[in-house]
Chains A and B, each alone.
Chain A
């Protein structure tokens, strides 16, 4: 079945760039998503990329998609303490369900 994998933790210094990586297995995925979860809250959609795109930029966020390697990354420029959260990668399967990774906990230190 489909699977989405992420590393569990990432720690960066404030002002640096953060890169969160994700690999997925379903080559038929139409959209790939990044969600952010702050402590005690639900998930908030950050950005998404259509599978025929290589890159999408949205202010401080850059999403890169390598479809050949089934690798997705989220780069956060000028990382701030408010970016500390859990980040989930998700792919759509051939239905309307999303398959989520286990999440990467980003910790930003001063």
Chain B
């Protein structure tokens, strides 16, 4: 069964901490995406990548960065966590021109 695995289901971090959210896919997909999901706002795209070492800003990249050193892994980095980054974070992957497979999500709380 194909999978997108996010390393943590729940995470609690302090304001100002550097936070790493990891996502690994086993489907050899070229494309990987990071979204955040907030009530009433739907899914908002943070960053995406179409290839190793390639990254593109999505709609809300401020306060985030990403890393894609290997095809199967796409990491989201919160450089200095703030309370307004408390959210559900969803990783997804896809082959070209096809729908996404999502991970289970990481619910991050910044206190």
Q: Chain A interface (Cβ within 8 Å of chain B)?
A: 8, 30-31, 33, 35, 40-45, 48, 88, 90, 92, 96-98, 100-103
Contact = CB atoms under 8 A, between A and B. Distances in A.
24 contacts: A30-B97, A31-B97, A33-B99, A35-B102, A41-B104, A41-B105, A42-B4, A42-B90, A42-B102, A42-B103, A43-B90, A43-B92, A44-B102, A45-B101, A48-B99, A88-B42, A88-B43, A92-B97, A92-B99, A96-B96, A97-B58, A98-B99, A98-B100, A100-B43
B57 to A, nearest CB: 12
Contacts of A41: 104-105
Contacts of A100: 42-43
Contacts of A30: 97
Interface of B: 4, 31, 33, 40-43, 45, 48, 50, 58, 90, 92, 94, 96-105, 107
Which of B43, B90, B92, B96 is packed against the most chain A CB atoms within 10 Å? B43
Nearest to A45: B99
Nearest to B59: A1
Nearest to B90: A42
A43 B33 contact: no
A103 B42 contact: yes
Contacts of B42: 88, 100-103
A102 to B, nearest CB: 4
A53 B40 CA distance: 31
Nearest to B91: A42
A96 B94 contact: yes
Contact of A97 (B4, B48, B101, B103): B48
A43 B100 CA distance: 9
Nearest to B42: A102
A102 B35 CA distance: 13
Contacts of B41: 102
Contacts of B31: 96
Contacts of A43: 43, 90, 92, 100, 102
